C-alpha cells in the first residue's frame, strides 16, 4: 500500500480536484473523462486517489488532530500563541471564526475524498473486471466515504450528504444540508454493505487497505453514536470472533515504523517519508523544540497537565504515549511531571533531515478500541469490566469493578482517554458520552459542540445553508 501511494500522487491530475469556488465539487475535466475510467487498472488508481486524500493537511495530517484532540482536554497549542500558532490556539479556546483555515481545510479535504469515492461508485459498474475485485473496490470507497462523513458529522453536524459524482459548479450549488442523524444512518447502511464486500485480510502488497474489520469497527462506533447499542454489540462480537485481531502483549509495540499494521491495528493511514510528498508533518509538529535537546520540532499539540494527571502510577502507557523534559538554569536535562515541556511520542520524534516528511502511520482504528466499545455497548456488568481489565492488565494496572469509585461511564471514559490518547477519539468520545460541555467548562472554557460551517460555503449558498449556533 505504501509503495502504491507514491504512484497515486503522480496521477492525481487525472482525477480532477476541488473547484476553487465550491468545496463539495470535484468536477472532472471533460478532456480527462474521455481517456480514463475504462479498465480495472484505472479504477484501482481512482481508489488509491481516494486513500491519498487521507494524507492531506485537512484530514489526518493536521486538521483532524487539532479538531479532535486540541479541541478537547487532551492537548493544547503549546508555548506561544502568535502568528500561525494563534490559528490553533483559537480552536483550543473555542474562539475560532468561520473563516478558520484549519476548519475550512477539514471541510474541503474531507469532501475531496468523498468526491473521489463518488467517482468510483458512479463509474465502476460497467467496467469489465473480475467481480470479486469490483466488490472489493466498492467496499473500500464506501468505507473511506463513511470515514469522512463520520468526521464531518462529529465536527459540523449539518452538512450536505453527497452520494453521487458532482460534475458542475451549478450542480454543486444545489446541495443542501442534512442533519447529523441522517449522515450517521446513511453511513451505517454503507458500512454494513462495505463489511459484506471487503476481505478480512490482504496479501503483503496490499496491506493498509480497508478490511472487513475496518468497516465493522467504524460501523460499531456509528451505532454507539446514534444510541443503537444492541446493534453495535452484535457487530463488535463479530469482530472479536471472526476477524483475527488481538491485543499486542506490550503497548509499546503498537508504535513506530517497525510495528506498523500489526495484529492489533485495524486501519492506519499509510504515510511514507523520503521526498515523495506522502510523509507526515504531525511528527514534526508534536516533537519538542530544538532548544529542548531532544529533536527539531514545533512543540504543538502538547499534552495538557490534565491528561498527565489522568495516568495512574505505574501505567506503562504514559511514557509510551507522551514524555516530559526540562532543562534547568545550568542546562542540565531533568525529567519532571510538573513542568510544561510535555510532548507526544507515540508518533516518533524527528530530526532536521526529515522535517515534515516523517514515515509514521496514523492509527485510526485498533482492537483495544473494539474491546472498550463492546464494554460501552453492553453496559455495566462483569463482562464489561473484564473487557476494560484486559486493557488495564496490559498497562500493568490493577483491575476495576463495580466497587471502584466512580460511575461505570466515568471509569470507561477514563480508560478510553489514556488508552487512546492522541489518536483523535477524545472529542467524539466526550460528545458521545454527553459530557463535553461539563468537561470543558471544568477547564474554564465555554464550549461549542460544533465547528462553524466554513464561511465560503455559507457565501455560496446563502439561501440554503444555515450556520451552526455560536458563530
| Segments forming the whole domain that contains residue 434 | 1-471
Q: Where are the alpha helices (DSSP H) in 124-276?
A: 131-156, 169-173, 180-197, 212-225, 229-242
Beta bridge partners, 324, equal: 342
Taking the whole predicted model, whether its pTM rises above 0.75 is answered as yes
d(CA 275, CA 86): 29
Higher local confidence (pLDDT), 355 or 441: 441
CATH code of 139's domain:
1.25.40.390
CA distance 467 to 103: 14
Q: Which of 360, 364, 373 is nearest to 143 (CA)?
A: 364
What does each C-alpha distance from 411 to 156, 232, 292, 384, 408 come to in angstroms?
28, 20, 35, 11, 5
pLDDT digit string, tens, across residues 122-144: 999 999 999 999 999 999 999 99
Q: Which three cell numbers stand for residue 361?
A: 502511520
Q: Up-side HSE of residue 135: CA atoms within 13 Å toward CB?
A: 11
Whether the pLDDT of residue 361 is over 80: the answer is yes
pLDDT tens figures, 227-266: 999 999 999 999 999 999 999 999 999 999 999 999 999 9
Q: How high is the mean pLDDT of the chain?
A: 88
What's the pLDDT tens digit per position in 189-202?
999 999 999 999 99
Q: How many domains does the chain have?
A: 1
Across 343-359, average pLDDT: 79
pLDDT at 394 over 80: yes
Summarize pLDDT for 286-341 with one digit per residue, the tens: 987 665 544 567 778 999 999 999 999 999 999 999 988 654 555 455 555 444 67
Amino acid at each position: 500500500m505504501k509503495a502504491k501511494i507514491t504512484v497515486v500522487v503522480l496521477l492525481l491530475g487525472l482525477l480532477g480536484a476541488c473547484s476553487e469556488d465550491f468545496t463539495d465539487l470535484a468536477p472532472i475535466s471533460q478532456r480527462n473523462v474521455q481517456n480514463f475510467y475504462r479498465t480495472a487498472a484505472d479504477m484501482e488508481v481512482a481508489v488509491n486517489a481516494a486513500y491519498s486524500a487521507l494524507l492531506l493537511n485537512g484530514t489526518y495530517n493536521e486538521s483532524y488532530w487539532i479538531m479532535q484532540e486540541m479541541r478537547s482536554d487532551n492537548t493544547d497549542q503549546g508555548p506561544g500563541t502568535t502568528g500561525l500558532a494563534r490559528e490553533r490556539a483559537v480552536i483550543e479556546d473555542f474562539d475560532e471564526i468561520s473563516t478558520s483555515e484549519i476548519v475550512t481545510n477539514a471541510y474541503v479535504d474531507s469532501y475531496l475524498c468523498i468526491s473521489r469515492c463518488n467517482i468510483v461508485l458512479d463509474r465502476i459498474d460497467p467496467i469489465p473486471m473480475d467481480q470479486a475485485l469490483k466488490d472489493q473496490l466498492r467496499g473500500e470507497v464506501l468505507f473511506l466515504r463513511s470515514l469522512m462523513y463520520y468526521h464531518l458529522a462529529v465536527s459540523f453536524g449539518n452538512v450536505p450528504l453527497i452520494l453521487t459524482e458532482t460534475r458542475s459548479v451549478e450542480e454543486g450549488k444545489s446541495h443542501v444540508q442534512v442533519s447529523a442523524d441522517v449522515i450517521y444512518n446513511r453511513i451505517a447502511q454503507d458500512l454494513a454493505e462495505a463489511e459484506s464486500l471487503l476481505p478480512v485480510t490482504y496479501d503483503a502488497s496490499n496491506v493498509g487497505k480497508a478490511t472487513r474489520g475496518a468497516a465493522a469497527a467504524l460501523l460499531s462506533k456509528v451505532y454507539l453514536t446514534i444510541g443503537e447499542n444492541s446493534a453495535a454489540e452484535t457487530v463488535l462480537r463479530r469482530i472479536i470472533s471472526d476477524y483475527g485481531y488481538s491485543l499486542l502483549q506490550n503497548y509499546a509495540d503498537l508504535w513506530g515504523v517497525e510495528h506498523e499494521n500489526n495484529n492489533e491495528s485495524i486501519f492506519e493511514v499509510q504515510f511514507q517519508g523520503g521526498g515523495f510528498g506522502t510523509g507526515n508533518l504531525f511528527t514534526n509538529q508534536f516533537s519538542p523544540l530544538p532548544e529542548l535537546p531532544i529533536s527539531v520540532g514545533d512543540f504543538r499539540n502538547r499534552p495538557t497537565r490534565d491528561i498527565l494527571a489522568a495516568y495512574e502510577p505505574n501505567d506503562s502507557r504514559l511514557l509510551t504515549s507522551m514524555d516530559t523534559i526540562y532543562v534547568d538554569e545550568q542546562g542540565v536535562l531533568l525529567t519532571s511531571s510538573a513542568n510544561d515541556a510535555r510532548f507526544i511520542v507515540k508518533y516518533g520524534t524527528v530530526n532536521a533531515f526529515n522535517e515534515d516528511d516523517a514515515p509514521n502511520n496514523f492509527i485510526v482504528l485498533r482492537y483495544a478500541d473494539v474491546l472498550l466499545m463492546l464494554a460501552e455497548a453492553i453496559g455495566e456488568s462483569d463482562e464489561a469490566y473484564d473487557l476494560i481489565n484486559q486493557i488495564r492488565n496490559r498497562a500493568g494496572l490493577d483491575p476495576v469493578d463495580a466497587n471502584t469509585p466512580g460511575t461505570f461511564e466515568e471509569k470507561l471514559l477514563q480508560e478510553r482517554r489514556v488508552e487512546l490518547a492522541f489518536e483523535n477519539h477524545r472529542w467524539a468520545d466526550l460528545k458521545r458520552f454527553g459530557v463535553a460541555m461539563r468537561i470543558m467548562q471544568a477547564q474554564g472554557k465555554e464550549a461549542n459542540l460544533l465547528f462553524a460551517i466554513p464561511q465560503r460555503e455559507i457565501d455560496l449558498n446563502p439561501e440554503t445553508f444555515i450556520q451552526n449556533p455560536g458563530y
